[in-house]
A and B are shown apart, each in its own frame.
Chain A
Amino acid sequence: MNLAPAEYLLPSDSDHLELAERVTARQACGEDSAVTLSRHIYDSFDWRLFLAGLTLEWGLSEAAAADHHDRCASTPASVEDGQAALVVPENGLVLTLREPRDPSAAPVLQWSALEPGFLSEMPDGPVRERLAGLLGIRRLLPMTELISARRRLRLLNEDRKTVVRLVIERNRFRNPATGETGDLSARLRLKPVRGYAREFTDVEQWVRNELGLEPIEGPQVLEALTAAGCRPGGYSSKLDYRLDPDQRADLATKEIHRGLLKTLEANVEGARRNLDSEFLHDLRVATRRTRSALSQIKEVFPATEVDDFKQRFAWLQQVTGPMRDLDVYLLDLPALEKRLPESLRDDLRPLRGLLNDQYQSVQAELAKALESDPFDALLRDWHAFLDAPAPADPEAGQPGTSQPSSGGDSTAPPPKRAQQPIKQVANQRIRKMLERVRSEGRAITETSPPEELHELRKSCKKLRYLMEFFQSLYEPARIRGQIKQTKVLLDNLGRFQDTAVQAQHLRETAEAEGCRDGGIPPATLLAMGLLIGQLQDEQARARSGFSEVFRGFDSDANAARFDALLSDGKGRKRQIGRR
C-alpha cells in the first residue's frame, strides 16, 4: 500500500534550525542538498482544471533541480530573489497534474520542455490525455508561480537506510503578470519511502504529539493562487443574477448591466492579446447581451442615453466582428476538411494558409480598436452611467437620492417604467417578445426567404436573453424548462444560419481569390465548391426540420407552461399566444 505524504503548516515564528535539530536529535538523519523549486501553476481563464478538482504545474522536477544544483556547484538559488535562479535544462521539465482533494491519488506526470498552452500543441502523454475533453479550445495560462526553498532531511534506520523523508519548506509566490512577490506559509512535509510504512506512521505521530502540529488538507496551490490575487473559479460568462422582484426596474436593470460589463471587461485583455478565441467570443456575447438589454428592457433609462449607448455598443460589435468571423472560420476548418473525401483534404491547405495570412492584420485591427479612445470612453461613460445614483421616486419617496441621474435631464420626468417593480417589467417584456417570436414563426412558410428565419432567430435570442436576465425572478425549474425549450428552437435556427454563413464565407473567399493573380489554386477552389454544396444540403435539412421544431415551441402545452411561468401569483393570468 502506498501511503500519502503528510503536510503541516509551520507557525510564522517557528525557528526552522531548531526544528531540524529536534528532528536529528530524535533519529539519525542524512541530508540532501537544499533545492529551490519553481513551479508555475496553469489553468484556463475560466478555471476549467480547478473546477474539475485538478491543478497543473510545470517546472523542473525536484530530482532534476537537485541534480542541477549539485552539478552547477554555484551558490544555490535564493528564495528571497522571488524566483529560482535556475538555468533550466531542456530535460527535467515536467508537467504534474494533481488532484489536491485526494492526496493519496498519484500525480500524473509528463515530460515537456514546452510551456503549456493549447492542448493541441502539448506533446502526447498522460497529462494531455487526462486534459482532453476538459480544456477544449482554451489556452492554459500561467496563474501563479510557487517558489519553494526546501531543506531535505532523510530519517535513517539502523542500517543507515532512508526510511522517511522530512522537508522543511519556505515558500513564496510570484504573480506572473505583475511580477509581484510575497511570502506564503512555511510547511513541514513528511514523505513516505516505499516499503517503510511503519516508520512513516511513527514519525507522523511524533510530529503530532511532540511538535504539536496538525496535518493540513488545504492545497498549497490555493494559497499561492489567492496570494497572487487570483480567484479560482471566479470567472463565468454565465448570467447569474439575484434580483428582488419588487426592486425598482431601473436599479435592477443597472445590476444586470453591471454584471455584463464585468464580463466584458474581464475579457478585454485576453482578446487584445489573442490568448485564445474564447476571450473575444465572451466579450462579444457580453456586448450583444448589453445591446439586447438596452433595447429590450424598455423605458427604464432616459431615451437619449439609451440611444447613445446603443450606437456605441453597436460600434464595438462591429469592430470585433471581422476577427470573430476569422476565428469561427478557422475553428470550423478541421470539421469542414473532414467533410471532404480523404483524397481532397490536402487541397484545402492553401485556404488555411490564406486565413492564417489574414489573421495577423485582422488581429492587429482588433487590438487597435480595443486600445482606442472611443473604446476607453465607452467603458468610462458606461461605468459612470451605471454608477450614477438613480433619480428618487417622487411619489413613493424610495430610498436612493434626490440627485439627478448622470447626464440626464433632472427636470425631465423619469422614464415610464423606471420605478415599476422589475418583476412587472420582466413579465411584460418576456410576454411581448414571446408574442413576437410566435407571430414571426407562424408567418414562415416553405417558401419564406432565409432572411425571415434570420429575423426569427434574432427575436428568439432576445427572448432567451430576457429569460436569462430575469431568471431569478421566477420559479427555478419552470424558467429553466422554458429557456431549454427556447434553445431547441434556437439550435435549429442556428444550424440553418451557421451553415449559411459558412457557405457564404467560402463563396466570398472563392470569388475574391478566383480572380486574383496568384490566388488560391483551382484544386482548392474545387474543394471549396464541393463544401459549399454539402453545406447547402445541410442547410436544407435544417430548413426542412424547422416547421416541426417550431410546432413544438408553438404548442398549446408550451403556451401553458409560459402562462404558468408568467402568472403573477394573484390569479391574474393572461393567456399567451394560444391559437
Chain B
Amino acid sequence: MQTIALYSIKGGVGKTTTAVNLGFLAAAEGWRTLIWDLDPQGAASFFFRIKTEVEGGGRALLRHRRVLEAAIKGTDFEGLDLLPADFSYRHLDLELSRGDKPKRQLRRVLKPLAQEYDLILFDCPPSISLVSENVFAVADALLVPLIPTTLSTRTLEQLDTFLNEKLPKNAPLLLPFFSMADSSKALHRAVMKSVPGQGRLVLRSVIPETAEVERMGLHRMPILAYAGDEAAVAAYRGLWQEVKDALPAR
C-alpha cells in the first residue's frame, strides 16, 4: 500500500482537486484507492456527493475499527472509495493527543486498510498541526501544490526544514508541483522559471488555473470524468505519471 498526502500550509492552492483527480486516475488504472478527506470543510466529500458525516465523529473513528470500516463509502467510480470528512475533525488534534504516541495514531488506524487498498490519498487541512505530523509519519510522499508566487515557494522551504528536523531519518518524499498557474501572469512565469533552477526538485507537470477546473464544483466529480481535451486533464495525467515514477515500486 502506498500513501500520498496532498498537503500545503496554505489553503486554496488546489489540494482537493488534485486529490480527487489523482484518486480517479489511480482507480481507473486498477489501483484500489481510498481518499481520506481529513479537512473538516469536506470539499473532497462534496465532489463525490457523499455526506460529510462519520458516526461518532473523529474520536470514534480513531478508536474503533468498526467505525472506520462503516464510514468508508464507495464513490461513483469503481475501485475508488472515500472516507468522508466530519465537522468534528476540527478537533482531531485534540483526539490524537489523547492516546499514547500521539504522532503514531494514524499509522495504527491505517493498518487494517493495508490489505484492502493499494493507495491511500490524504486530503489534508491547511496547517501544521498534530494531524499533519501524523500524516507526515505515515505518508510515502507529500504532494505539495505551489501557486507560483514568491510567498508559496518560501513556505515550501519552511516545510522542508520542518520535515528534516522532525523526521530526519524517514521524512516522506517531498513532491512539489505548480498549481493554479496562470501563464498570462509575468510573476507566475518568472517563479516557474526560477524555482527549479535553485536546485529544488519540482515536478514538471503544471496544473493550470482554468474555468473547467473551477467547474468541478458544479459537476461534483473529477474533471477527468467529464472533460475530454482540457489542458487540465492532460496536466493531471502527466502529474499522476510523475508521481508513480517517483514512488517506490509497488
Binding site for B on A (CB under 8 A): 30, 60-64, 66-67, 91-92, 94, 106, 109, 111, 154, 159-162, 165, 191-196
CB contacts (< 8 Å) of B112 on chain A: these are none
Taking a contact as CB atoms closer than 8 A, the residue among B28, B74, B79 that contacts A195 in the complex is B74
CB distance from B17 to the nearest CB of A (A): 19
Within B18-48, the residues touching A (CB, 8 Å) are 25, 27-30, 32, 48
Q: Chain A: which residue is nearest B81 at the CB level?
A: A194
Q: Chain B: which residue is nearest A156 at the CB level?
A: B76
Contact of A165 with B30 in the complex, beta carbons under 8 Å:
no
B204 in contact (CB, < 8 A):
no
Within B49-103, the residues touching A (CB, 8 Å) are 49-50, 70-79, 81
In the assembled complex, the Cα of A91 lies from the Cα of B250 at a distance in Å of: 11
CB distance from A34 to the nearest CB of B (A): 14
Binding site for A on B (CB under 8 A): 25, 27-30, 32, 48-50, 70-79, 81, 116, 250
| Complex A-B: 26 CB contacts under 8 Å | A30-B76, A61-B29, A61-B79, A62-B78, A63-B30, A63-B79, A66-B28, A67-B25, A67-B29, A91-B29, A92-B30, A94-B30, A109-B32, A111-B250, A159-B49, A161-B48, A161-B49, A161-B76, A162-B74, A162-B76, A193-B73, A193-B74, A195-B71, A195-B73, A196-B73, A196-B74
Contact of A63 with B76 in the complex, beta carbons under 8 Å:
no
CB contacts (< 8 Å) of B49 on chain A: these are 159-161
CB contacts (< 8 Å) of A162 on chain B: these are 74-76
CB distance from B23 to the nearest CB of A (A): 12
In the assembled complex, the Cα of A109 lies from the Cα of B32 at a distance in Å of: 10
Is chain A's interface secondary structure helix, strand, loop, or mixed overall? Answer: mixed
Contact of B50 with A63 in the complex, beta carbons under 8 Å:
no
Taking a contact as CB atoms closer than 8 A, the residue among A63, A109, A111, A194 that contacts B27 in the complex is A63
Q: Chain B: which residue is nearest A2 at the CB level?
A: B69
In the assembled complex, the Cα of A62 lies from the Cα of B50 at a distance in Å of: 24
**Given known A63-B78, A160-B49, contact A194–B29 (CB-CB < 8 A):** no
Taking a contact as CB atoms closer than 8 A, the residue among A64, A92, A161 that contacts B50 in the complex is A161
CB distance from B74 to the nearest CB of A (A): 4
CB contacts (< 8 Å) of A159 on chain B: these are 49
In the assembled complex, the Cα of A195 lies from the Cα of B28 at a distance in Å of: 20
CB contacts (< 8 Å) of A161 on chain B: these are 48-50, 76
Contact of A195 with B72 in the complex, beta carbons under 8 Å:
yes
CB distance from B26 to the nearest CB of A (A): 9
Contact of A64 with B29 in the complex, beta carbons under 8 Å:
yes
In the assembled complex, the Cα of A195 lies from the Cα of B69 at a distance in Å of: 9
CB distance from B217 to the nearest CB of A (A): 15
CB distance from B11 to the nearest CB of A (A): 26
CB distance from B86 to the nearest CB of A (A): 14
CB contacts (< 8 Å) of A106 on chain B: these are 116
Contact of B28 with A194 in the complex, beta carbons under 8 Å:
no
CB contacts (< 8 Å) of A109 on chain B: these are 32
CB distance from B43 to the nearest CB of A (A): 16
**Given known A159-B49, A160-B49, contact A61–B30 (CB-CB < 8 A):** yes
CB contacts (< 8 Å) of B32 on chain A: these are 109
In the assembled complex, the Cα of A61 lies from the Cα of B26 at a distance in Å of: 12
Q: Chain A: which residue is nearest B50 at the CB level?
A: A161
Contact of A165 with B81 in the complex, beta carbons under 8 Å:
no
In the assembled complex, the Cα of A339 lies from the Cα of B77 at a distance in Å of: 54
CB contacts (< 8 Å) of B27 on chain A: these are 63
